[in-house]
Amino acid sequence: LGRSPILWINSNCDTPSNRTAYMLELMRYVSVDVRGKCGNPLWNESLAITDPKQLATEKLNLVKQYLFTVAIENSLEYDYVTEKLWQPLAAGSVPLYLGAPNVDEWLPCYNYSCIIHLRNFTSIKDVANLINRLANNKTLYAEYHQWRNEENVRSS
């Protein structure tokens, strides 16, 4: 891809989930492209779009260029699941998810097999090690997309 394996779009710099501190630690171990109000100002100017539909399209076009997209919610409350999870799934990027403790009830896959669930790791360095391994192994990475086969999609 010629870029970092991870995209982080961050427009809310101070959150109860302490997303920024988590990401700064992760960035010690793996390369991350940062966009949004707390990131690259040039990208913000290119997204000075007032039409919400066009903005969503531009964002999806960006997300689809990355293997992984940060999906750390502003809040870590039950049932608080936002576009941070849905957009990467729709674009074909694997979400690095931290948010609702019951996110499994919302996922289109079984057993968290379509996300990297950050709660399941004892250290941020372990997350980075997995990301680096997946970024260099197409077969392992493809396992996070197996749910896209019709028989693997979870129905409500």
Predicted confidence (pLDDT) at residue 43 exceeds the cutoff of 60? no
**Burial of 41 per CB tally in 10 Å (0-12, 13-18, 19+):** exposed
Q: What are the domain boundaries of the chain? A: 6-152
Q: Is 118 left (phi over 0), alpha (psi -120 to 50) or beta?
A: alpha
Q: What is the pLDDT of residue 58?
A: 86
Average pLDDT value for residue range 69-82 = 94
What gap in Å lies between CA 25 and CA 30, rounded to an integer? 9
Both structure tokens of 88: 């990467």
Residue 45 has pLDDT above 60, yes or no: no
Mapping DSSP to helix (H, G, I), strand (E, B) and coil, where does residue 74 land?
A: coil
Q: List 33's β-bridge partners, or say none.
A: 7
Residues 37-60 have a mean pLDDT of: 68
CATH number belonging to domain 6-152? 3.40.50.11660
pLDDT at 66: 96
Whole-angstrom Cα Rg for the chain: 15
The answer for residues whose C-beta is within 8 angstroms of residue 91's C-beta and 6 or more apart is 60, 63, 64, 69
Average confidence score pLDDT of the chain: 87
What pLDDT is attached to residue 51? 78
